[in-house]
């Protein structure tokens, strides 16, 4: 993983160094840009059976060519607080669906959705007349990887059955190959001050459970899943290009 990250940084550093001095206002130029974004998503497919509305907070590094072609990488942290997994803790619950800790009191247990999404992207910017030929409709798509699980927090750590390796029997760790598509608008300011993007993103995960055993179902379920996410994504962009030097005239 470290080697991959270093290679990506070196590639985009080379592309950045190759970016010539130019103005974004009057011509199509090539440059690398970094983005930080947030998206809110509705689940679909098998994911909707386990989780509710969730979010992705992440970033991307993309390069735009002189033909307005775009390619690069993106990644994000998936999180949510609505989990619907009936009987998840049934093996350690009392008749009134409570878990008793070592202190003899009902344990405070919090359950969340956690995961991440990584992807490569390739696409194109279709410019409008204004504000410049580098801004406009942006279309992106590409392959990637999705992972999600149920995170269980035992406040005070009073339940031995919810510690360390035992948690793996409850988290339903799921991952696999994924595809994503994005359609939206990207804006690069003529003065390099305000730059942003926004649009709709769609993610399809072809995943499976990766745990050897599930304590709630007392078996191993590794059936293939189709986990879908679709929602609105907004972000801030930092373009890395050299400004055209101001022109001076001598009389």
* Cα 224 to Cα 93, 119, 170, 218, distances in angstroms: 29, 20, 18, 18
| Three-class secondary structure of residue 24 per DSSP | coil
* Average pLDDT per block of 10 residues along the chain, 251 residues long: 51 47 75 95 97 97 95 97 93 91 93 98 93 94 98 94 92 96 94 89 96 85 88 95 55 46
The secondary structure of 50-116, three-state, reads: CECCEEEEEEEEEEECCCCEEEEEEEEEEEECCECCCCCCCCCCCCCCCCECCCCCECEEEEEEEEE
pLDDT of residue 131: 86
Contact (CB, 8 A) for 113 and 82: yes
State the Cα–Cα distance between residues 161 and 91, nearest whole angstrom: 10
Radius of gyration of the chain (CA): 23
pLDDT of residue 212: 87
How many beta carbons lie within 10 A of that of residue 99, not counting itself? 17
- Stated pTM of the model: 0.85
The fold of the 2-240 domain, in CATH, is Porin (2.40.160)
* For the chain, domain boundaries: 2-240
pLDDT of residue 250: 46
State the Cα–Cα distance between residues 53 and 42, nearest whole angstrom: 5
């Amino acid at each position: 993983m470290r080697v991959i990250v270093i290679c990506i940084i070196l590639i985009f550093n080379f592309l950045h160094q190759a970016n010539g001095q130019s103005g974004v206002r009057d011509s199509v130029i090539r440059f690398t840009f970094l983005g930080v974004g947030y998206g809110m998503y509705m689940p679909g497919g098998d994911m909707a059976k386990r989780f509710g509305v969730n979010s992705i907070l992440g970033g991307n590094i993309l390069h735009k060519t002189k033909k307005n072609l775009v390619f690069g990488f993106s990644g994000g942290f998936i999180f949510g607080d609505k989990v619907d997994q009936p009987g998840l803790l049934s093996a350690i619950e009392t008749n009134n669906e409570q878990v008793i800790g070592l202190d003899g009191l009902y344990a405070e247990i919090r359950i969340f959705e956690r995961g991440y999404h990584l992807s490569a992207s390739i696409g194109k910017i279709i410019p409008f007349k204004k504000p410049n030929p580098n801004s406009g409709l942006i279309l992106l798509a590409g392959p990637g990887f999705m992972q999600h699980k149920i995170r269980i927090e035992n406040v005070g750590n009073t339940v031995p059955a919810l510690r360390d390796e035992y948690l793996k029997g409850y988290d339903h760790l799921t991952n696999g190959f994924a595809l994503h598509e994005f359609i939206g608008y990207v804006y690069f300011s003529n003065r390099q001050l305000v730059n942003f993007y926004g649009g709709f993103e769609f993610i399809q995960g072809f995943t499976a459970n990766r745990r050897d055993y599930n304590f709630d179902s007392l078996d191993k379920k590794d059936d293939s899943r189709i986990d879908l996410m679709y929602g609105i994504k907004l972000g801030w962009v930092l373009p890395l290009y050299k400004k055209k030097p101001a022109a001076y005239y001598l009389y």
